[in-house]
Amino acid sequence: MRIVILERNSVGTDVSVDSISKYGETTVYRNTTAEDVAERVKDAEIIIANKAPLNEATLKNAQKVKLICEFATGYDNVDLAYCKSRGIKVANVVNYSTDAVAQHTFALCLYILEKLHHYDAYVKSGEYASQDRFSNFDIPYTELAGKTWGIIGMGNIGRKVAEIAKAFGCHVIFYSVTGKSSCTEYEQVDFDTLLRESDVLSLHCPLSDITRNLINLDALKKMKKTAILINVARGPVVNDEDLYTALTENYILGAGLDVTGTEPMKDSNPLSKIKDSNRLIITPHMAWASIEARERCVSETCKNIEAFLKGENRNIVNG
């Protein structure tokens, strides 16, 4: 098998991908732009990618390709219908980053909830050392216990977050975008109820036509003024311009984002104007990227390749 890894760096240079080479002659590229895809995959039988576009334009001359493996759960970069018409199987990796994303969800929430930026800066500035009392809590914060934690996207990550939120003492509610959720452990509510009742609202849904701009200004205005929004799903689920308005006009208390409308985030994004880290924290799409999660991503990709070579379907997303 001739294997091409288009975006080796997407799993981090500190994580080895050498295990993939046991399945065939492997060519590794650190990163691949859209313009370079076609040339790099023309002789490949197995393609491993993450964001590089794989469609008719980039694959039409790659007549030997039989399998595309994603170094990810999402497969927005692949034209599934075209691949199916060519008999090319597409496999993703599932549930490898659940623990990491759930952990980061609470890191973002607690950073905003407890004003950790303010209190860390207070100590490091020397103000704490010079005061005459043992404590300082000049910006009040609240507990998660007794609050309502709302979730959009009750898949593996959403359920893990719900489990942790419950351990904190939260009442968990969720909204199913498709209306087809099989989750019965937690209370399912309509969208307006979710917005109205959530003290924390975390997003764990895929990006689709029905979730794009789901959290817009109208939705944000329906939330509590004390609410915190957490987006560790996909950037375009939230309208960045509308979130900027909601934060600057105090429609909600704060937001923790691991994703934004474009990645990397552009200077033109209005959210870049907000410097108050007590209201907004943005991390660079790294919620999924614990060392353990990235190692699992590679090992699960190997299992997908092994299954394919045995004639078995494992995590095939296009039939």
Sequence-ordered list of residues with C-beta below 8 angstroms from that of 124, at least 6 positions apart, any chain: none
Catalytic residue among 196, 212, 285, 314: 285
Q: Helix, strand or coil for residue 12?
A: coil
> Quick check: is 285 catalytic?
yes
3-state SS assignment for residue 270? helix
The two beta strands, 171-175 and 187-188, are parallel
Under a CB-based contact definition with an 8 Å cutoff, are residues 318 and 82 in contact? no
Question: Per-residue b/e over 96-106, b at no fewer than 16 CB within 10 Å?
Answer: bbbbbbbbbbb
Contact 204, 152 (CB under 8 A): yes
Q: Give the C-alpha separation, 237 to 214, whole Å.
A: 5
7 is known as an active-site residue: no
CA angle, 202 then 207 then 209, to 5°: 120
* Of 146, 164, 54, the residue nearest 103 (C-alpha): 164
Which listed residue (104, 159, 204, 234) is catalytic?
234
Annotation says 312 is catalytic: no
Residue in this structure with the two tokens 């200004």, named with its chain if needed: 217
**Residues sharing a CB contact under 8 Å with residue 231, sequence separation 6 or more, in sequence order:** 202, 203, 215, 237, 238, 255, 256, 257, 258, 259
- Number of other residues whose CB lies within 10 A of the CB of residue 307: 16
DSSP secondary structure letter of residue 168: T
CA distance 60 to 288: 32
Q: Is 50 helix (H, G, I), strand (E, B) or coil?
A: coil
Two structure tokens written together for 84? 């199916």
- Options 263, 292, 306, 312, the catalytic residue: 263
Catalytic residues: 234, 263, 285
